[in-house]
């Protein structure tokens, strides 16, 4: 059966001209490329990311709207995908598919369906994102904030000192700027150690 399929696949067509086959291939390819780009754009807006899921609409998106990445003096806005997805293909499509499946599964399970659940999970979820950003040296941050374009004369003395750690490879953006797009969660307090059992008399 497999042999017949490959023979059919590679046998010249007696019905369609080479031009027709090339034309059909180009049309199918164009539809696939354009359709993919349209879907990436439609599903990559803040409105889609922020309202497609109940938990995002109730807790994540409103929190983002209070951040300097949403409202600021210059009017430059970083969208969800600017920070949370790679900017190059095919990594962008792969990460987008994985994030969509993970979010849909978490939404069905009700992982952060209430404010209490969201706050309880916030530290864990934030650390997943921070670890990803540390692993790639905050690549998404640097796609907008180019260190080569910094004007250190316009930075505070503390900022200049901190940025030297970055340029020397001793720190990455997210280590100092964890709360720029969402409220930075507090680390949960460790549970008090259990009292030692009394020695038997």
Tens-digit pLDDT profile for residues 25-63:
999 999 999 999 999 999 989 999 889 888 889 999 999
d(C-alpha 165, C-alpha 174), whole Å: 12
pLDDT in tens, 57-81: 999 999 999 999 998 888 889 999 9
pLDDT at 152: 87
Domain that holds residue 45: 20-176
pLDDT at 92: 92
pLDDT at 86: 92
Is residue 161 included in any domain, yes or no? yes
Number of CB atoms found within 10 A of residue 17's CB: 9
Tell me which residue of 124, 146, 123, 135 sits closest to 174, measured CA to CA: 135
Is residue 185 included in any domain, yes or no? no
- Confidence check: pLDDT of 119 > 70: yes
Omega before 163 within 30 of 0, i.e. cis: no
The pTM is what?
0.75
Count structural domains, the chain: 1
Span 140-153, mean pLDDT? 89
Is residue 196 included in any domain, yes or no? no
3-state helix, strand, coil in the chain (%, to 5): 60, 0, 40
pLDDT in tens, 94-113: 999 999 899 899 899 988 88
pLDDT in tens, 167-195: 888 889 999 998 889 999 988 886 555 55
d(C-alpha 78, C-alpha 166), whole Å: 21
Is residue 13 included in any domain, yes or no? no
| Under 8 Å between Cβ of 96 and 88 | no
Is residue 170 included in any domain, yes or no? yes
Which CATH number do you get for residue 35? 1.10.3820
d(C-alpha 22, C-alpha 113), whole Å: 50
Is residue 105 included in any domain, yes or no? yes
pLDDT at 167: 87
Is residue 157 included in any domain, yes or no? yes
Q: Give the pair of three-digit tokens for residue 90.
A: 């095919």
Share of the chain above pLDDT 90, in %: 50
Residue for token digits 């979010």? Answer: 103
Is residue 181 included in any domain, yes or no? no
Helices 18-42 and 91-109: crossing angle in degrees, nearest 10, is 50
Span 90-94, mean pLDDT? 92
């Amino acid at each position: 059966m497999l042999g017949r399929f490959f023979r059919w696949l590679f046998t010249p067509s007696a019905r369609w001209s080479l031009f027709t086959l090339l034309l059909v291939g180009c049309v199918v390819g164009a539809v696939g490329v354009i359709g993919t780009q349209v879907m990436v754009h439609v599903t990559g807006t803040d409105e889609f990311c922020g309202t497609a899921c109940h938990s995002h609409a109730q807790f994540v998106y409103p929190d983002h709207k209070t951040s300097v990445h949403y409202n600021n003096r210059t009017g430059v806005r970083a969208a969800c995908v600017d920070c949370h997805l790679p900017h190059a293909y095919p990594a962008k499509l792969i990460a987008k598919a994985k994030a969509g499946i993970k979010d849909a599964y978490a939404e069905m399970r009700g992982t952060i369906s209430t404010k209490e659940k969201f706050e309880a999970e916030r530290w864990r979820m934030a650390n997943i994102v921070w670890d990803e950003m540390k692993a790639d040296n905050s690549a998404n941050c640097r796609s907008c904030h180019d260190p080569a374009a910094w004007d250190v004369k316009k930075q505070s003395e503390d900022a200049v000192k901190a940025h030297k750690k970055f340029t020397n490879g001793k720190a990455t953006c997210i280590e100092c700027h964890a709360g720029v797009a969402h409220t930075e969660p507090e680390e949960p307090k460790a549970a008090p150690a259990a009292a030692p059992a009394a020695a038997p008399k």
